[in-house]
Amino acid sequence: MTVFLFVGPSLPREVRERCAGQAVLQAMGQAGEHVEVLPPVAAGDLPRLGARSGDTVGIVDGLFHRRPAVRHKEILDLLDSGVRVHGAARMGALRAAELTAYGMTGHGRIFADYHRGAITADDEVALLHGTEAEDYQSFTEALVNVRYALADAAARGLLPARVADAVLAAGARLPFVERTRAAILAAAARGGIGETELATVDEVLSCAPDAKRTDALALLESVLGSGVRPEGGGERTWRLRETLHLRQWRSAARGSHDPAAGWVPEEQIHRLAQVLAADYPAFRERVAMRRLAAQHTAVPVRMTASADLPPVADLLERLRFLGLLAPGADADPGLDRWCTAAERELPDRVRTAKAAARALFPHHALLWHDPFLDELKTTGAHLMVRERLVSCLRFHRTLRRQRPTLQLARLRTENILAHFAQRWDRDDLEDAVLERGFATAEDFVTSARSFYLYDKAHPGAGPLVLQAAAADDGPWTGSRPPQHLLPKNPVPKDSAP
């Protein structure tokens, strides 16, 4: 089993290192357990963990300003799969207070106050802090620490309650990125607090304990100390609903890490082939037709390059079963929308088969199962396309260092389309992207943005041909790609992004 801990500014470096060390493992008394100490959590991090039933995830710190915050559904997905999830101090306290009813375990004073509604503003635990290399140095004060320090001082008679309330209100009015001690005192002074009282407030805040650290240590003690393990939460009263967003997050989490490229998403391997592979249209048609025909019969189907294949009858029966074709019909006007201008002159059976091979495999459906990626994995094409993707990701990482203000979303659509029209030597862009499985040119551009600058900057990389790699591992049963699908080289270097 594995314990994953997301910690940052709430705990000093020596504590984080001790958590990941052998001393912790010995204290746990369970040598088979492995502890991974990770930076503050953000959206997308939990699905990448690979956590399994019986593992434990402890969330202390999290990001929400530079990256989207960890999503509730990601935590629910872990809980649903049998992973124990604990929270405390900052982001962990917030999410635990919100998800206690679903089985997340909270620890500490901050969690308890959020859970019972004594604290309601998320930004009370927010901090402006440095990077991991800077040991997460805090540049601002967490308002929750100010709250507790003032409340304790008022309870001990060091401050009148009205002064404590006024200082807290003054701090709450400041944006969290401006909540330094000096700024809080200045805001309180503007609110009418006298110098003598401000001096006492300054001393109280300078000596106040860090409630976030105290709560974070409580979480560590529960999760790691003395081998303590909480029991299950009893009978499940909720059921996780798989949404499109959850599938997207899971899909983006499948992949591997490259030292120079960073995260290499598995889904992007198919997407790159869809955009850049010269013979992708033939590949997609072959795989899609075989998949549809096989859904109608238990007999394995092998497609060939013939125009009107025996399995097409199975494919059409599948379409009739789905209600996309009327009984006995071989065509439907609605499917013609997925045919190119030239294909509309083909016989009904062939035209319908081609249209169905595109219409029934939209991108969102591939989040449940991607037969095209599966097919790539059966041949050397998968490794070849992955290597091209890694090269692309490395290129973009270098580009971001050189031009940190560059945003792919701002690349001009007309330039992307012009580049690929020239690459494919096609004037009929709408038909060309349709052959690659995109419903519209706009859908194509959404995917092509990630590869456009790389492809433009590497005209000598040579065509990406799936058939060539597949030939080393087995017969390619689709037709040879037409010559006009091969990219023209070189691509002019002076064309603007």
Report the 3 state secondary structure along 158-203: CCCHHHHHHHHHHHHCCCHHHCCHHHHHHHHHHCCCCHHHHHHHHH
The mean per-residue pLDDT over the stretch 373-392 comes to 91
Long-range contacts of the stretch 168-176 (C-beta < 8 A, 24+): 168/143, 171/141, 171/143, 171/146, 172/121, 172/124, 172/143, 176/123, 176/126, 176/127, 176/128, 176/140, 176/143
**What pLDDT does 469 receive?**
58
**What pLDDT does 490 receive?**
35
The mean per-residue pLDDT over the stretch 411-422 comes to 95
CB of 153 closer than 8 Å to CB of 190: no
- Residue 116's contacts (CB-CB under 8 Å, 6 or more residues apart) are none
pLDDT band for position 310 (cuts 50, 70, 90): very low
Whether this model's pTM surpasses 0.75 = no
Integer Cα distance of 265 and 258 in angstroms: 10
**What pLDDT does 75 receive?**
96
Looking at mean pLDDT, say which of 24-38, 186-200, 232-246 comes out highest. Answer: 186-200
In what side-by-side order are the strands of the sheet with 105-107? 34-38, 2-6, 56-59, 84-88, 105-107
pLDDT band for position 130 (cuts 50, 70, 90): confident
In this model, does residue 70 exceed pLDDT 90?
yes
The mean per-residue pLDDT over the stretch 363-381 comes to 88
In this model, does residue 230 exceed pLDDT 70?
no
Percentage of the residues of the chain whose pLDDT score is greater than 90: 56
CB of 89 closer than 8 Å to CB of 219: yes
pLDDT band for position 27 (cuts 50, 70, 90): very low
pLDDT band for position 234 (cuts 50, 70, 90): low
Percentage of the residues of the chain whose pLDDT score is greater than 70: 86
**What pLDDT does 157 receive?**
92
Q: Of 168, 170, 164, 171, which Cα lies nearest the Cα of 197?
A: 164
Q: Where are the alpha helices (DSSP H) in 192-262?
A: 195-207, 211-223, 244-253
Going from the C-alpha of 331 to that of each of 31, 231, 306, 440, the distances in angstroms are 64, 59, 19, 22
Integer Cα distance of 466 and 279 in angstroms: 6
Q: How many residues make up the chain in this entry?
A: 497
Asked if the peptide bond before residue 490 counts as cis, ω within 30 degrees of 0, the response is yes
Looking at mean pLDDT, say which of 16-25, 354-363, 474-483, 485-494 comes out highest. Answer: 354-363
**What pLDDT does 214 receive?**
94
Structure tokens at 73: 């559904």
